[in-house]
A and B are shown apart, each in its own frame.
Chain A
Amino acid sequence: MDLDTLYREERPRALATLIRLLGDFDLAEDGLQEAFAAALEQWPAAGVPRNPRAWLVSTARHKAIDRVRRDKSLAAKQAEIAYLGEVAVPAPGLAEQPFTDDLMRLIFTCCHPALALEAQVALTLKTLCGLSVDEIARAFLVPPSTMAQRLVRAKAKIRGARIPYEVPGSDQLAERLDGVLRVVYLVFNEGYAATSGDALVRRELCNEAIRLGRLLRTLFPDASEVAGLLALTLLHDSRRAARLDERGDLVTLEEQDRSRWDRGQIAEGQALAEAALRRGGAGFYALQAAIAALHAQAVRAGETDWPQIAALYALLLRLHPSPVVALNHAAAVAMGERLDRGLRLIEQLEAGGELQSYHLLPAAKADILRRLGRRAEAAAAYERALELVTHEAERRYLERRLREVRSTP
């Protein structure tokens, strides 16, 4: 294993333990960076120590203490925290559990509900994933100074308001774990849903969300929603190569070249989705994963099990009622049962008025009308969707459909 990969693997647990030992995110991050720089110098000649993580933690801790001694303003800050030097460093060769406990503390602190959601996301990407401020800023299309400020503020709140570095008790755990999953889901969607901005950074976000999902799965092997979220991200991500054409335009699920889907990821995602459903208590993520698995299973679009998908959406709608889920349900009903029944459901949603500015409502309606051969009405609905759409690739897709329904006799 090369040193960068080794560092990447060891970093989250080493950092989590250091934050507990030092009581400060910045000191821990800077110390760990210095320790890794020292490792890059020493290890190639002297060899990798028997327990590289313990070596990194203890070296980083010494570097941090040196820094505090050199810097009086840091010392003042440290006096407030009064952690330094009181807690024992895990000994080399020590069991995995203390590090894992620290990692869980770090995850729950980064995703604490007293922090703004955007701050939770930024902090997770910075500390758990090790992304730089610039990378996170590029991914969220904000200036680096704004992102840096967001992180400074979040860390100041953790310190100032004393957000605990703890795994929540059993009465809080399920709810807090939901919060963690929401952050991972948001990271994935940010990387997956938008195609504007830096493509490499967006790809990185999807990879990080999957990596976080795998990590959570090792920490919470019995939680079906954890398995569900990992399955969902793997299954969506498996279509990455087929989602955009060579011009960067969005290719709909129906029109994607399914031979370009990542079969390995699909197999892993399907197994996880099935495990999540079998375990029971399938919620928001596990149900969506099951739907994604059904799509992934169809070799051709025409073979999609739409009735089953419609049934899963009905279940999802009952558990998590939302207009967007209702719209997906209506579209699945149109494909699986009858177009006119789906159309009626969409018209009911339209009348409800909750999705008036959501372009996918008229777009879905237009699609059904097009399949029904009602071209004039389809054209009007595509026009309405075009008034609302903001995403360029989606706009081009809708324009193409509009031309089709206008030109075909």
Chain B
Amino acid sequence: MKYLLLIYEKEADWAAIPEAEKGKIFQEYMDYSKRIRKSGNYIGGEALQPVSTATTVRVKNGKTLTTDGPFAETREQLGGFFLVDAKDLDEAIALAAGIPGSRTGSIEVRPIMPTPPVE
């Protein structure tokens, strides 16, 4: 069975942590991902850029509507995800608008944090 592990936290709290402390937590993440690679559980994982870089995409009557900011409705629930490579936000938005769910729900487009590769 595959599982998606979603990480929720308060961005403001994270921003307030001193740099040295951040480095320690980052190292913990590296260690964790190494551990689950070794155990064979790892499939993939990424850190996301802050919600301030998010764009929400909906398609109504064939028209793509974009809004600045994350998906903020509580009436709809997370139903799936695609991880895509796109040359810029415009291409990512176009890809999001192609997802069938963009007509009935919302697609939140979040850029992935560029991270150094793990050896």
Contact = CB atoms under 8 A, between A and B. Distances in A.
B63 to A, nearest CB: 8
B89 A116 contact: no
A162 B89 contact: yes
B68 A119 contact: yes
B52 A153 contact: yes
A116 B68 CA distance: 5
B49 A160 contact: yes
A137 interface: no
Interface in A122-175: 153, 156-157, 160-164, 166, 168, 172
B88 A114 contact: no
Contacts of A162: 88-89, 111
B114 A80 contact: yes
Contacts of B49: 160-161
B102 interface: no
A92 interface: no
Contact of B55 (A153, A161, A164): A161
B68 A115 contact: yes
Nearest to B113: A160
Interface in A293-344: none
Contact of A114 (B50, B87, B93): B93
B105 interface: no
Contacts of A114: 55, 66, 68, 89, 93
B90 A156 contact: no
A114 B111 CA distance: 13
User: Which label, helix, strand, loop or mixed, suits the secondary structure of the A interface?
Assistant: loop
A160 B68 contact: no
B41 interface: no
A163 to B, nearest CB: 5
Query: What interface size band does chain B fall in?
Result: 10 to 19
A115 B55 CA distance: 8
A85 interface: no
B53 interface: yes
Interface string B58-90: 000000001011000000000000000001111
A172 B66 CA distance: 13
A119 B53 CA distance: 13
A19 B54 CA distance: 23
Contacts of B50: 160
Given A161-B53, A166-B88, A168-B90, 19 more contacts: A114-B55, A114-B66, A114-B89, A153-B52, A156-B53, A157-B52, A157-B53, A157-B68, A160-B49, A160-B50, A160-B53, A160-B111, A161-B55, A161-B89, A162-B88, A163-B88, A163-B89, A164-B87, A164-B89
Interface of A: 80, 112-116, 119, 153, 156-157, 160-164, 166, 168, 172
24 contacts: A112-B89, A114-B55, A114-B66, A114-B89, A115-B68, A116-B69, A157-B52, A157-B53, A157-B68, A160-B50, A160-B52, A160-B111, A161-B54, A161-B55, A161-B109, A161-B111, A162-B88, A162-B89, A162-B111, A164-B88, A164-B89, A166-B88, A166-B90, A168-B90
Interface of B: 49-50, 52-55, 66, 68-69, 87-90, 93, 109, 111, 114
The 9 lowest CB-CB distance pairs between A and B, nearest first, are A160-B53, A116-B68, A164-B88, A114-B55, A161-B53, A113-B66, A162-B88, A161-B89, A161-B111
